[in-house]
Amino acid sequence: MVGSPDAALDLYYWSDYLCPFCKKFEERTFPKLVRTHVAEGRIRVVLLQFPNIGENSMTASVMSRCVWRQVREDSPDTFWNWHSTVFDEQGFTQGDWSNRSNLLELTESVEGVDASAVDSCLSENRETLVSAVEAERQRGKRAGLDGTPSFVLYDPDSDTAADLQGAQPYSRFDSKIRSLTE
Protein backbone atom coordinates (compact mmCIF):
# COMPACT_ATOMS: atom_id res chain seq x y z
CA MET A 1 0.00 0.00 0.00
CA VAL A 2 1.20 3.49 -0.75
CA GLY A 3 -0.45 6.67 0.46
CA SER A 4 -2.25 7.99 3.49
CA PRO A 5 -4.68 5.73 5.35
CA ASP A 6 -6.93 8.82 5.49
CA ALA A 7 -7.04 9.31 1.71
CA ALA A 8 -10.48 9.99 0.26
CA LEU A 9 -10.29 7.09 -2.22
CA ASP A 10 -8.74 3.66 -2.42
CA LEU A 11 -7.26 2.58 -5.73
CA TYR A 12 -7.16 -1.21 -5.83
CA TYR A 13 -4.55 -2.20 -8.40
CA TRP A 14 -4.39 -5.79 -9.66
CA SER A 15 -1.10 -6.53 -11.37
CA ASP A 16 1.06 -9.30 -12.83
CA TYR A 17 4.85 -8.92 -12.91
CA LEU A 18 4.97 -10.63 -16.31
CA CYS A 19 2.31 -8.40 -17.89
CA PRO A 20 3.77 -5.96 -20.46
CA PHE A 21 0.74 -3.66 -20.04
CA CYS A 22 1.39 -3.52 -16.29
CA LYS A 23 4.95 -2.48 -17.08
CA LYS A 24 3.59 0.26 -19.35
CA PHE A 25 1.33 1.49 -16.50
CA GLU A 26 4.24 1.34 -14.04
CA GLU A 27 6.47 3.42 -16.31
CA ARG A 28 4.01 5.95 -17.71
CA THR A 29 1.12 6.44 -15.31
CA PHE A 30 1.90 5.17 -11.81
CA PRO A 31 4.72 7.66 -11.05
CA LYS A 32 2.50 10.61 -11.96
CA LEU A 33 -0.37 9.23 -9.84
CA VAL A 34 2.02 8.98 -6.89
CA ARG A 35 3.39 12.51 -7.43
CA THR A 36 -0.07 14.02 -7.65
CA HIS A 37 -3.07 12.20 -6.20
CA VAL A 38 -1.17 10.04 -3.68
CA ALA A 39 1.11 12.87 -2.52
CA GLU A 40 -1.89 15.20 -2.20
CA GLY A 41 -3.80 12.66 -0.11
CA ARG A 42 -6.64 12.00 -2.55
CA ILE A 43 -5.89 8.31 -3.09
CA ARG A 44 -4.00 5.48 -1.54
CA VAL A 45 -2.98 2.57 -3.73
CA VAL A 46 -3.51 -1.01 -2.64
CA LEU A 47 -1.39 -3.40 -4.71
CA LEU A 48 -3.01 -6.78 -5.34
CA GLN A 49 -1.72 -9.71 -7.35
CA PHE A 50 -3.52 -11.19 -10.35
CA PRO A 51 -1.08 -13.73 -11.82
CA ASN A 52 -2.45 -14.71 -15.20
CA ILE A 53 0.48 -15.32 -17.55
CA GLY A 54 1.64 -18.75 -16.44
CA GLU A 55 3.46 -20.45 -13.59
CA ASN A 56 6.19 -17.82 -13.36
CA SER A 57 3.51 -15.18 -12.76
CA MET A 58 2.56 -16.99 -9.57
CA THR A 59 6.21 -17.36 -8.58
CA ALA A 60 6.78 -13.61 -8.97
CA SER A 61 3.58 -12.84 -7.04
CA VAL A 62 4.55 -15.14 -4.19
CA MET A 63 8.07 -13.71 -4.19
CA SER A 64 6.61 -10.22 -3.82
CA ARG A 65 4.86 -11.42 -0.65
CA CYS A 66 8.17 -12.78 0.68
CA VAL A 67 9.94 -9.48 -0.04
CA TRP A 68 7.12 -7.56 1.66
CA ARG A 69 7.30 -9.80 4.76
CA GLN A 70 11.00 -9.12 5.00
CA VAL A 71 10.98 -5.32 4.65
CA ARG A 72 7.55 -4.12 5.81
CA GLU A 73 8.52 -3.25 9.39
CA ASP A 74 11.84 -1.45 8.90
CA SER A 75 11.92 -0.35 5.28
CA PRO A 76 8.63 -0.55 3.36
CA ASP A 77 10.03 1.65 0.56
CA THR A 78 12.48 -1.16 -0.18
CA PHE A 79 9.52 -3.22 -1.39
CA TRP A 80 8.68 -0.57 -3.99
CA ASN A 81 12.34 -0.57 -5.10
CA TRP A 82 12.13 -4.33 -5.61
CA HIS A 83 8.74 -4.00 -7.34
CA SER A 84 10.09 -1.36 -9.76
CA THR A 85 13.22 -3.38 -10.42
CA VAL A 86 11.19 -6.41 -11.48
CA PHE A 87 9.18 -4.32 -13.93
CA ASP A 88 12.32 -2.55 -15.18
CA GLU A 89 13.90 -5.91 -15.96
CA GLN A 90 10.80 -7.50 -17.45
CA GLY A 91 11.60 -9.62 -20.49
CA PHE A 92 9.33 -11.44 -22.85
CA THR A 93 6.18 -12.57 -21.04
CA GLN A 94 7.02 -16.28 -21.34
CA GLY A 95 10.80 -15.81 -21.26
CA ASP A 96 13.31 -17.34 -18.89
CA TRP A 97 13.92 -13.98 -17.19
CA SER A 98 10.99 -14.73 -14.86
CA ASN A 99 11.93 -18.15 -13.51
CA ARG A 100 12.65 -18.50 -9.80
CA SER A 101 16.44 -18.49 -10.03
CA ASN A 102 16.53 -15.40 -12.28
CA LEU A 103 14.06 -13.55 -10.05
CA LEU A 104 16.21 -14.40 -7.03
CA GLU A 105 19.29 -13.12 -8.85
CA LEU A 106 17.39 -9.93 -9.62
CA THR A 107 16.36 -9.72 -5.95
CA GLU A 108 20.04 -9.85 -4.94
CA SER A 109 20.55 -6.60 -6.84
CA VAL A 110 18.01 -4.69 -4.74
CA GLU A 111 19.62 -3.00 -1.77
CA GLY A 112 17.98 -3.92 1.52
CA VAL A 113 16.51 -7.26 0.38
CA ASP A 114 18.09 -10.54 1.46
CA ALA A 115 17.60 -12.88 -1.50
CA SER A 116 18.48 -15.99 0.53
CA ALA A 117 15.76 -15.10 3.05
CA VAL A 118 13.32 -14.61 0.16
CA ASP A 119 14.33 -18.03 -1.20
CA SER A 120 13.73 -19.61 2.22
CA CYS A 121 10.36 -17.88 2.48
CA LEU A 122 9.41 -19.26 -0.95
CA SER A 123 10.37 -22.78 0.07
CA GLU A 124 8.76 -22.70 3.50
CA ASN A 125 5.58 -20.73 2.79
CA ARG A 126 4.74 -21.24 -0.88
CA GLU A 127 1.46 -23.09 -0.34
CA THR A 128 0.10 -20.50 2.11
CA LEU A 129 1.24 -17.60 -0.06
CA VAL A 130 -0.19 -19.13 -3.24
CA SER A 131 -3.54 -19.38 -1.43
CA ALA A 132 -3.35 -15.72 -0.40
CA VAL A 133 -2.45 -14.60 -3.92
CA GLU A 134 -5.22 -16.74 -5.39
CA ALA A 135 -7.68 -15.08 -2.99
CA GLU A 136 -6.57 -11.67 -4.31
CA ARG A 137 -7.09 -12.84 -7.88
CA GLN A 138 -10.56 -14.19 -7.04
CA ARG A 139 -11.43 -10.88 -5.38
CA GLY A 140 -10.61 -9.17 -8.67
CA LYS A 141 -12.68 -11.65 -10.64
CA ARG A 142 -15.65 -11.04 -8.33
CA ALA A 143 -15.22 -7.33 -9.12
CA GLY A 144 -15.60 -8.20 -12.81
CA LEU A 145 -11.93 -8.00 -13.73
CA ASP A 146 -10.40 -10.51 -16.10
CA GLY A 147 -6.88 -9.30 -16.83
CA THR A 148 -4.09 -6.97 -15.87
CA PRO A 149 -3.62 -4.25 -15.09
CA SER A 150 -7.05 -3.68 -13.60
CA PHE A 151 -8.19 -1.05 -11.14
CA VAL A 152 -11.12 -0.21 -8.93
CA LEU A 153 -11.41 3.28 -7.45
CA TYR A 154 -13.50 3.10 -4.31
CA ASP A 155 -14.99 5.91 -2.24
CA PRO A 156 -15.78 4.46 1.20
CA ASP A 157 -17.80 7.53 2.24
CA SER A 158 -20.33 7.22 -0.57
CA ASP A 159 -19.80 3.49 -1.21
CA THR A 160 -19.30 4.20 -4.91
CA ALA A 161 -16.74 2.69 -7.22
CA ALA A 162 -15.42 3.02 -10.74
CA ASP A 163 -13.22 0.61 -12.59
CA LEU A 164 -10.51 1.01 -15.19
CA GLN A 165 -8.95 -1.81 -17.14
CA GLY A 166 -5.71 -1.81 -19.06
CA ALA A 167 -2.74 0.53 -19.15
CA GLN A 168 -4.82 3.69 -19.25
CA PRO A 169 -3.15 7.10 -19.51
CA TYR A 170 -2.88 9.36 -16.49
CA SER A 171 -5.67 11.59 -17.81
CA ARG A 172 -8.22 8.75 -17.50
CA PHE A 173 -7.26 8.14 -13.86
CA ASP A 174 -7.24 11.86 -13.13
CA SER A 175 -10.74 12.26 -14.59
CA LYS A 176 -12.15 9.29 -12.60
CA ILE A 177 -10.49 10.41 -9.37
CA ARG A 178 -11.77 13.97 -9.72
CA SER A 179 -15.31 12.78 -10.55
CA LEU A 180 -15.39 10.76 -7.32
CA THR A 181 -13.82 13.44 -5.10
CA GLU A 182 -15.52 16.61 -6.33
Domains recognised in the chain with CATH numbers: 9-181 (3.40.30.10)
User: Strand, helix or coil at 47?
Assistant: strand
Whether the pTM exceeds 0.85: the reply is yes
Residue 87: CB atoms within 10 A of its CB come to 19
CA distance 64 to 72: 11
Which secondary structure element, helix H or strand E, spans residue 134, and what is its range? helix 115-142
pLDDT for residue 91 is more than 80:
no
- pLDDT tens-place string over residues 117-142: 999 999 999 999 999 999 999 999 98
Give the model's confidence band at 92: pLDDT under 50 very low, under 70 low, under 90 confident, else very high: low
Give the model's confidence band at 90: pLDDT under 50 very low, under 70 low, under 90 confident, else very high: confident
- pLDDT tens-place string over residues 143-164: 888 899 999 999 999 998 989 9
pLDDT for residue 95 is more than 60:
no
CA distance 42 to 37: 5
